[in-house]
């Protein structure tokens, strides 16, 4: 970024201390800020250049000095210069921005996952280990954390300015963000999308804990039932196991190990089974029929809350070889055993025929 780290620290600390700028509390923050300051610097250069020229020319060509307007013919060199230099700057900005974008939106494979449900007007965080929080989020420092988010009603937007992350939270679709917090402490959560009268109250606090403190927190605050265990119960009480019993003679496919795999559908296309696909398979089964099966699965639209869907998704994710899940205290340590973590997306990726 062409600026010494010491100077950089100094600049950001000073801006933060003078309340002009949020703290840099995630690994991505310095990168986002570097681009931001680059844009700011380029804008300033433009401002100064134009300002100085306007000022200088208006003195130099004032009426007393230059009463008759001079006709100036074009200059190819000048025109080429003011085309090529800005173009180069824009291209640099584009490439830089694109690289940063991918860095921000692609969670690392080892990220631990936490679900966030937005609703008018609160944020609910659900940890796979069964810790539930409202307008609060506890995360460990120094570990990549991914949030899988969905709205129960209208559009919201989840933002933690100190981490430089923000993303829309949409009804009917999972979106994700990820971050790696660097410094223990508390930071603001905002909803940054106007979502009704109490929108300004849709705020919360992220608490970043040291790994040890985080371990203690997960043990103290678990509800005793992991999301997967809740899902296991739902799976039985909603009658899913009538068809998905895992038996060879069952009418529905065995769901063990389906997460992360590629399914072939009756129309010949292939889909990656991720969180989004599982959710959609439960709500809109007729949209994608797995090859070799009859379209007999009923829709569960309107019968399961977003929280219930998260439980079911978490259960199917954890169902590796049999239909029993283990009690997991740690929030998402259990998922590390999964062969692949297909988190790449917000929508189930369908290869259209």
Q: Which is nearer to ligand HEC, 105 or 293 (CB)?
A: 293
Contacts by 34-40 with C-beta closer than 8 Å and gap 24+?
Answer: 34/1, 34/3, 35/93, 35/96, 35/97, 35/100, 37/11, 38/1, 38/93, 38/96, 39/93
Q: How far apart are CA 125 and CA 272, in angstroms?
A: 26
Considering only the stretches 4-12, 16-24, 195-203, 288-296, report the one whose residues sit in contact with ligand HEC under the rule CB under 6 A: 288-296
Q: Backbone dihedral region of 111: left (phi > 0), alpha (psi from -120 to 50 degrees) or beta? A: beta
Q: With residue 56 as reference, give the H or E element that holds it.
A: helix 29-60
Tokens of 321: 């070889």
271 counts as binding ligand HEC under rule CB under 6 A: no
Considering only the stretches 65-73, 121-129, 199-207, 278-286, report the one whose residues sit in contact with ligand HEC under the rule CB under 6 A: 278-286
239 counts as binding ligand HEC under rule CB under 6 A: yes
323 counts as binding ligand HEC under rule CB under 6 A: no
The answer to whether 162 and 25 are in contact (CB under 8 A) is yes
Smallest distance, ligand HEC to C-beta of residue 310, A: 12
Q: How far apart are CA 19 and CA 40, in angstroms?
A: 18
Helix pair 76-105, 29-60: axis angle to 10 deg? 160
86 counts as binding ligand HEC under rule CB under 6 A: no
- Looking at residue 170, the DSSP 8-state letter turns out to be B
- Looking at residue 27, the DSSP 8-state letter turns out to be T
The answer to whether 290 and 266 are in contact (CB under 8 A) is yes
Considering only the stretches 72-80, 171-179, 194-202, 245-253, report the one whose residues sit in contact with ligand HEC under the rule CB under 6 A: 245-253
258 touches, from ligand HEC, Cu ion, none (C-beta below 5 to 8 Å by class): ligand HEC
107 counts as binding ligand HEC under rule CB under 6 A: no
By CB under 6 A, name the one of 48, 236, 242, 351 that touches ligand HEC: 242
Q: Cα–Cα distances in Å, from 337 out to 19, 110, 136, 197, 341?
A: 44, 10, 27, 43, 10
Smallest distance, ligand HEC to C-beta of residue 124, A: 21
The residue to which tokens 């208006």 are assigned? 58
323 touches, from Cu ion, ligand HEC, none (C-beta below 5 to 8 Å by class): none
49 counts as binding ligand HEC under rule CB under 6 A: no
The answer to whether 127 and 226 are in contact (CB under 8 A) is no
156 touches, from ligand HEC, Cu ion, none (C-beta below 5 to 8 Å by class): Cu ion
256 counts as binding ligand HEC under rule CB under 6 A: no
By CB under 6 A, name the one of 139, 165, 227, 282 that touches ligand HEC: 282
Considering only the stretches 169-177, 196-204, 276-284, 336-344, report the one whose residues sit in contact with ligand HEC under the rule CB under 6 A: 276-284
122 touches, from Cu ion, ligand HEC, none (C-beta below 5 to 8 Å by class): none
Closest CA to 235 of 226, 243, 223: 243
Considering only the stretches 35-43, 79-87, 122-130, 295-303, report the one whose residues sit in contact with ligand HEC under the rule CB under 6 A: 295-303
Q: How far apart are CA 349 and CA 347, in angstroms?
A: 6
Q: Which is nearer to ligand HEC, 191 or 276 (CB)?
A: 276
285 touches, from Cu ion, ligand HEC, none (C-beta below 5 to 8 Å by class): ligand HEC
Distance of CA 211 to the CA centre of its chain: 22
Considering only the stretches 75-83, 166-174, 214-222, 291-299, report the one whose residues sit in contact with ligand HEC under the rule CB under 6 A: 291-299
Interface map 300-319 toward ligand HEC (x if CB under 6 A): x-----------x---x---
Tokens of 43: 């804008």
Q: Which is nearer to Cu ion, 153 or 344 (CB)?
A: 153
């Amino acid at each position: 970024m062409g600026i010494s780290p010491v100077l950089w620290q100094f600049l950001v600390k000073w801006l933060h201390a003078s309340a002009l700028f949020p703290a840099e509390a995630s690994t991505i923050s310095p990168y986002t800020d570097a681009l931001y300051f680059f844009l700011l610097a380029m804008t300033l250069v433009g401002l100064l250049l134009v300002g100085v020229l306007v000022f200088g020319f208006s003195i130099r060509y004032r009426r007393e000095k230059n009463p008759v307007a001079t006709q100036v013919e074009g200059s190819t060199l000048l025109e080429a210069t003011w085309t090529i230099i800005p173009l180069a700057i824009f291209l640099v900005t584009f490439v830089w921005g694109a690289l940063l974008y991918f860095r921000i939106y692609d969670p690392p494979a080892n990220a631990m996952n936490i679900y966030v449900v937005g609703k008018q007007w609160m944020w609910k965080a659900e940890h796979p280990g069964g810790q539930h929080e409202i307008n609060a989020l506890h995360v460990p420092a120094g570990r990549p954390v991914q949030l899988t988010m969905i709205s129960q009603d209208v559009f919201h937007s989840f933002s933690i300015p100190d981490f430089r992350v923000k993303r829309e939270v949409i009804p009917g679709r999972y979106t994700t963000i990820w971050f790696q917090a660097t410094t223990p402490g508390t930071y603001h959560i905002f909803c940054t999308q106007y979502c009704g009268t109490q929108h300004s109250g849709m705020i919360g606090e992220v608490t970043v804990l040291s790994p040890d403190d985080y371990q203690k927190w997960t043990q103290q605050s678990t509800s005793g039932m992991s999301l997967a265990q809740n899902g296991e119960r739902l799976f039985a009480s909603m009658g899913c196991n009538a068809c998905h019993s895992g038996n060879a003679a069952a009418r529905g496919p065995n769901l063990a190990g389906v997460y992360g795999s590629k399914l072939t559908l009756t129309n010949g296309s292939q889909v990656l089974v991720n969180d989004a696909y599982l959710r959609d398979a439960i709500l809109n089964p007729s949209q994608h029929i797995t090859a070799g099966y009859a379209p007999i699965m009923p829709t569960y639209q309107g019968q399961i809350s977003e929280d219930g869907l998260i439980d079911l998704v978490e259960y199917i994710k954890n169902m590796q070889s049999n239909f029993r899940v283990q009690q997991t205290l740690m929030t998402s340590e259990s998922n590390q055993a999964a062969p692949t973590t297909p988190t790449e997306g917000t929508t189930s990726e369908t290869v259209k025929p």
